[in-house]
Each structure stands twice: as C-alpha cells, then as structure tokens.
Amino acid sequence: MEEEAGAGGKVKKFLYVNRKAPYGTIYALESLEVVLIGAAFEQDVSLAFIGDGVYQLTKGQDTKALGVKNFSPAFRALDDYDVNKLYVDEASLRARGLSAEDLLVPVEVVSTERMAEIMEGQDVVLSF
C-alpha cells in the first residue's frame, strides 16, 4: 500500500472526538481501541474531549462492583504510543464541576474557539 506511513507514505492528522461518558455506552471504549489502532500505524493522532466525554478521563474510576473492565488506566499508556495531544473543552469541565487536576493524565484545557481551530486543522475526524 503506497499510503503506509511506515513505508514513507503521507502521515495524516487524525482527531478523535469523544463526547460520551464511559460505561453507560460502548462508545468511549471503542474510541480508545480505534485510537490505539491508529497510533500503531504511526499517524498524527489527537484526542478531543467535549461534553460528557470529559468524564472518560476522571480519576478514581473503580468498576469492581459494576463488574466491567475499568479502561481508564489505558489513557495513561497513550503516551507510550506517542499519543500525547489530548485537548479538553474548558466549558465542559466547568459545567461538571471538574478541573484538570481531576483528570488522570496531563491534558491541554482549551476554549471552544481553540478546539474549533484544532478540528479545522485535521485530515480525518472520527466521532464517538
């Protein structure tokens, strides 16, 4: 395949837009799976967290009693795959009484205006 990045093909900018809370639906987990796949193909990956999507990153998730897999620690592993551009919408955090300190990983908290700019700079936008 001539488009393969590893073989000198074009690296594309991928943005994954996360707008769903974890556990209530499968979207958050599926997004993370796809992010890891994209990273394995050495693409330029960014993640955006908007609305309830910011809840995916909250500290203290404990799924023992719920009986499902706690996938939040995987966000800490993203850096090992060179996925380190995580953008979190400031207004979404504020509406939920959260701040960057409540999140599992270092993120860039951005305004709606800045987030829109980031979206416009992408080759591919995948929505979850």
**Residues at the site binding other proteins, with contacts judged by CB under 8 A:** 21-25, 51-52, 55, 58-68, 70, 72, 95-97
**Closer to other proteins by Cβ: residue 12 or 96:** 96
d(Cα 120, Cα 22) in Å, to the nearest integer? 26
**Closer to other proteins by Cβ: residue 70 or 111:** 70
At closest approach, how far in Å is the CB of 95 from other proteins?
A: 4
Residue among 100, 120, 119 at smallest CA distance from 54: 100
At closest approach, how far in Å is the CB of 48 from other proteins?
A: 16
**Closer to other proteins by Cβ: residue 70 or 112:** 70
Residue with tokens 């974890």: 22
Residue among 90, 84, 56, 94 at smallest CA distance from 72: 56
- DSSP assignment of 74-88 equals HHHHGGGGT--EEEE
At closest approach, how far in Å is the CB of 91 from other proteins?
A: 10
